[in-house]
Copies of this chain bind each other. A is one copy, B any other.
Amino acid sequence: MRIGDVGEFSLIDRLAGIVARGRADVAVGIGDDAAALDLGGGDLVLLTVDSQVEGAHFLRDRIPPRLLGRRLLAVNLSDIAAMGGTPTHAVVSLVLPADLELRWIEEVYAGLGEEAGRFGVAVVGGNVARSPGPIVLDLALVGTVRRERVLTRAGARPGDAILVTGSLGAAAAGLHLSAHPELEFRERDQLLARHLVPTPRLREGGLVAASGLATAMIDVSDGLAGDLGHVCDRSGVGARVYAERLPVAPGVERVAELSGSSVLDLALSGGEDFELLVTCPPGSAEELAALVSAGTGTPVTVVGELLPASAGRWLVLPKGREVPLGGHGFTHF
């Protein structure tokens, strides 16, 4: 069997099973946005890793290297945000062809340094290796979180409200626009920017965690349908999402028309929006949304509610018909 036949998340589950071995100091292990470790300090230590692979995550002629450097850190920052944490230190592993222009990788580092400065992260080490193949940039990020505040994918309960920060579909729309420079319209630059460099929702995640109101949190990197699916899997719940309530980003509808895809596909399965999906008891949803919006200026929208696992996972279409929440989000295999 080839790994392309088993699917990304099934592959991860299989591999996780092989190395499953506990240490008493692992508060959160494989299967969340980041691991949380008890290394003896007052706070838990968060650890996550993510890569940017040429040909899979980026094309050299479509993203300026400075933005790629920012993106490399930003996607990891989003994982720390989803745990309610604060990022602190990063190490980078570069796999590069020998004929790469020095200027290109220096620009990547300039962007990485910019983004690190913006979020108070220190780049403290790394590794360089040569490869005949595509460029691979890997970044491992450390952060901290107060131990009583850490939020995982596993704490959600039936009846909880489902909230999402910001807006959806922008990154997928931007990806489409990056391949179609001829498509000119008002929101083009904004959507393209959302695709090129996501904005990690660190302040939003911090406020959610500090509120004590939330039961689970995850970042929306695979598409809302896929990431809500991860919460359902880990928490043992079902879900109902209302299409009409989805905060679709401005311009996404136009891109859907121009590209022949559907707005719902872009918003639910597009992936890489790097918003936060949060669950909380229904009675606290309004308070939590207001608190985060007031503190950050980022809108927070209630898009549905959790159900018992046996009730399944559903999308309520605008006219009231329920269809399976089948968009599985972007997967690598």
Picked from B28, B45, B126, the residue with its CB within 8 Å of the CB of A15 is B126
Contacts of A222 in B (CB 8 A): none
- Most B CB atoms within 10 A — which of A92, A113, A332? A332
In A104-127, which residues have CB < 8 Å from any B CB? 105-106, 109-110, 112-113, 116-117, 120, 122-127
Q: How far is the CA of A127 from the CA of B53 in the complex (A)?
A: 12
Given A43-B39, A128-B332, A333-B128, decide whether A138 and B93 contact each other with a Cβ distance below 8 A: yes
The reply to whether A3 and B40 contact each other, CB–CB distance below 8 Å, is: no
Given A1-B102, A122-B26, A125-B34, decide whether A116 and B19 contact each other with a Cβ distance below 8 A: yes
The reply to whether B133 and A49 contact each other, CB–CB distance below 8 Å, is: no
| A323 interface residue per 8 A CB criterion | no
Q: What copy number does this chain have within its complex?
A: 2
Q: Which of A6-14, A151-159, A229-237 contacts B (4 or more CB under 8 A)?
A: A6-14
| A91 interface residue per 8 A CB criterion | yes
Q: What class of interface size applies to chain A in its complex with B?
A: 35 or more
A51 CB to nearest B CB, Å: 5
The reply to whether A98 and B35 contact each other, CB–CB distance below 8 Å, is: no
Q: Which of A's residues lie within 8 Å of B, judged by CB?
A: 1-6, 8, 11-12, 14-15, 18-19, 21-23, 25-26, 28-32, 34-35, 37, 39-43, 45, 47-51, 53-57, 88-89, 91-93, 95-96, 98-103, 105-106, 109-110, 112-113, 116-117, 120, 122-134, 136, 138, 140, 142, 144, 332-333
6 closest cross-chain pairs (CB), A and B: A133-B133, A40-B41, A4-B98, A140-B140, A35-B124, A41-B41
